Amino acid sequence: EVLLVESGGGLVQPGGSLRLSCAASGFTFSSYWMHWVRQAPGKGLVWVSHIKSDDSSTSYADSVQGRFTMSRDNAKNTLYLQMNSLRAEDTAVYYCARGRYCDSGSCHFDIWGQGTMVTVSS
């Protein structure tokens, strides 16, 4: 079964840090671009970042650029999101998602994790 399982969410104070993980199984993890997408309570989906299949390049939304770092360990089939200098507006459910055809332009997310909640509050 193709599966993505996020972990690492929780309550953190403003200015704090958190590291999310996403464990992949059931597919060749190293062949796919991976993404983080977040959803604030009651709001829509917002793309956060992506990383290429070979870990050669990452990109970020302007709202997290310089504060968040995405990485992957293809040997462990695991994706990470290091979140620093957290703000109240970062409060959201964070989903990892597998991207298909992302190197050809028609990038879509065919597999999603269940999400992990991050709450930034004092």
Partner 1 sequence: DIQMTQSPSSLSASVGDRVTITCRASQSISNFLNWYQQKPGKAPKLLIYAAFSLQSGVPSRFSGSGSGTDFTLTISSLQPEDCATYYCQQSYSTPPIAFGQGTRLEIK
Query: Which residues, in sequence order, are CB contacts of 94 under 8 Å at separation 6+?
Result: 6, 9, 20, 36, 37, 38, 48, 81, 115, 116, 117, 118
Closer Cβ to partner 1, 39 or 77, answer by number: 39
CB of 108 within 8 A of CB of 99?
A: yes
Q: Which is nearer to partner 1, 75 or 105 (CB)?
A: 105
Q: How far is the CB of 24 from partner 1 (least distance, A)?
A: 14
Which residue ranges make up the site for partner 1 (CB under 8 A)? 35, 37, 44-47, 50, 59-62, 95, 100, 102, 105-110, 112-115
Nearer to partner 1 by Cβ, of 30 and 111: the residue is 111
